[in-house]
Amino acid sequence: MARLTINGKTHDVAVDPSTPLLWAIREQVGLTGTKYGCGIAQCGACTVHVDGAAVRSCVMPVAAAEGKKITTIEGLANGRALHKVQKAWLDNEVPQCGYCQSGMIMAVAALLREKPKPTDADIDARVTNICRCGTFQQVREAIHAAAKA
């Protein structure tokens, strides 16, 4: 059993403490916007915020997330008002298949919180998610657009 605070709500999840946070979020809490792509912290599809920092949830055991503030893609917008990264993604039509984009958006939102005006080098260093559709050109444009918003 673990007590998780996700998008402002508390959930008691009956799982082994070693269960990765990703699977607790998806299978116990039922929020499926966070994706699985590799399970070994390589691709970033599972990125969520834990106390504001971008974390690859496929390798974080639920035990380590207890008592922390977790935000998933479903909790990024403020009610119906899109987060500025989501808005920039919409305006720049970033997603292709979209599967990687939850993680991509969460990684970028964390970057912008820390560095509101990231340089290309900042982006290169901090956004290391895999996108097999290859949306990187639009991702970069949209990050700069979000930084200006």
Partner 1 sequence: MITKIPKLTRRSFVIGSTALGAGLAIGLKIPFGPSVVRAQDGSPEVTAWVVIRPDDTVVIRIARSEMGQGTLTGLAQMVAEELECDWSKVKTEYPTPGQSVKRKRAWGDFSTGGSRGIRDSHQYVREGGATARIMLIQAAANAWNVPTSECSAANSVITHKPSGRKTTYGKVAEAAAKLTPPEKPALKDPTEWKLIGKSVKRLDTMDKLTGAQVYGFDLKFPGMLNAAIKDCPVFGGKLKSYEAAKVTSMPGVRHVVTVGDSAVAVVADTWWQAKTALDALPIVWDEGENAKVSSDSIAAMLKEGLDADQAFVANQNGDVKQAIAGAAKKVEAVYAYPFQNHAPMEPMNATAKYTPDRCEVWVPTQNGEAAFAATLAASGLPADKCEVYKLHLGGGFGRRGAFHDYVTQAVLIAKQIPGTPVKLLWTREEDMLHGRYHPVMQCKLVGAFDSSNNLTGLHMRLSGQSILTSVRPEALQQGKDPLVFQGLNPSGDFGIGYSVPNLLIDHAMRNTHVPPGFWRGVNINQNAIFLECFMDEMAHAVGQDPLEFRRKLMTKHPKHLAALNAVADRAGWSKPAPQGVYRGLAQMMSFGSYVAACAEISVKDGDKIKIQRIVAATDCGYAVNPAQIERQIAGSFVYGLSGLFLQECTVKDGHIEQTNFNNYDSMRIAQMPKVESIVMPSGGFWGGVGEPTICVAAPAVLNAYFAATGKRIRTVPLKNHGITLV
- Residues binding ligand FES (CB under 6 A): 36-39, 41-46, 56, 58, 95-101, 131-133, 135
Binding residue for partner 1, selected from 109, 123, 146, 147, defined by CB under 8 A:
123
Using the minimum distance from each CB to partner 1, give the nearer residue, 60 or 72. 72
Segments of the chain assigned E as strands: 2-6, 9-13, 47-50, 53-56, 69-71
User: Using the rule CB under 8 A, is 47 a contact of partner 1?
Assistant: no
**E strand or H helix at 102:** helix 101-114
Residues 6+ apart with CB under 8 A from 114: none
Q: Find which of ligand FES, partner 1, none residue 56 binds, CB within 5 to 8 Å per kind.
A: ligand FES
Rounded Cα distance, 60 and 39, in Å: 10
How do 2-6 and 47-50 pair as beta strands?
unpaired
Among 2, 4, 29, 35, binds partner 1 (CB under 8 A): 35
Q: How far is CA 146 from the centre of its chain?
A: 16
32 is a site residue for partner 1 (CB under 8 A) = yes
Residues that bind partner 1 (CB under 8 A): 15-16, 19-20, 23, 26-28, 30-40, 42-43, 45, 72-74, 76-77, 82, 86, 89-90, 93, 95-102, 105, 123-125, 127-140
